[in-house]
A and B are shown apart, each in its own frame.
Chain A
């Protein structure tokens, strides 16, 4: 098996874990909150149990699994587990074009597999009530607002990746912890705007499996989670190179 094939398997496995545990946490929260009077249309169930604490819990689920994936598979494939990160590294000439497409396909398959395994584990309520943790704009949030929130969230994520991992001057060993906590923090704050996906594969998986298993049809929102994360990540990568004067590459 080629080196690229093994790395793609690692990306697939990492994204599977990310969606199973991260998006799964959102689905479980909705399942637990089922029937609870949320009191406001802006609260669809996540927040009914502990307010912003619900989002913090979901954010921590993402934080922990991201740290686990980065520390376990970071040396194998780079553990991008996010098409936006792969594209941003390619756009700044840090990742080979030939590998970029293969990584993205592996991440999308991994996202779908994570959702499929979660549905198999938690049952059909995870699909019909939890929507497999699919991200959508919340009531009152417009399309462009959702794209903006996703772009800003992914901008923060990519800036942190650049500073703590890509920049050769960064202190070693902290990437998984810091990047995981960054995602957790972004989800806590912006989760109730557009779900804080920050990752096309993380949204693709639940959307596809929801469609196949009779869950909600949300594809009309999918462009939000392509445009927002990719713009945010690419802008962050170029912005980091600009403010560091290219020293991050040369160091």
Chain B
């Protein structure tokens, strides 16, 4: 698989990741990897932050749509 964004720019680079939202193939330059906090519990128990974070890979467009920056 090739990087979708590089292909649109007329370049060819191998994809190393896939956006979890839209499925776009991404090279290392365009892949955005973040670790999201996870919470467990809630009424009638206090919610607690789970120690382990959940990694997520997004393309720039989906990252912007989800987080606005």
A-to-B contact residues, CB < 8 Å? 3, 7, 70, 74-80, 85, 89, 94-95, 161, 165-166, 175-176
Contact = CB atoms under 8 A, between A and B. Distances in A.
B41 interface: yes
16 contacts: A3-B46, A74-B42, A75-B39, A75-B41, A75-B42, A75-B46, A76-B46, A77-B46, A78-B45, A78-B46, A79-B43, A79-B44, A89-B45, A94-B45, A95-B45, A175-B43
A198 B47 CA distance: 25
Q: Which size bracket describes the interface of B in this complex? A: under 10
Contacts of B42: 74-75
Nearest to A89: B44
Nearest to A4: B46
A85 B44 contact: yes
Contacts of B44: 74, 78-80, 85, 89, 161, 165-166, 175
Contacts of A166: 44
Nearest to A77: B46
For the complex of A and B, 7 pairs with smallest distance between CB atoms: A74-B43, A75-B47, A78-B44, A78-B45, A175-B43, A75-B42, A165-B44
Given A7-B46, A75-B42, A78-B44, 4 more contacts: A75-B39, A76-B47, A78-B46, A165-B43
A165 B39 CA distance: 16
Nearest to B42: A75
Nearest to A161: B44
Contacts of B45: 78, 89, 94-95
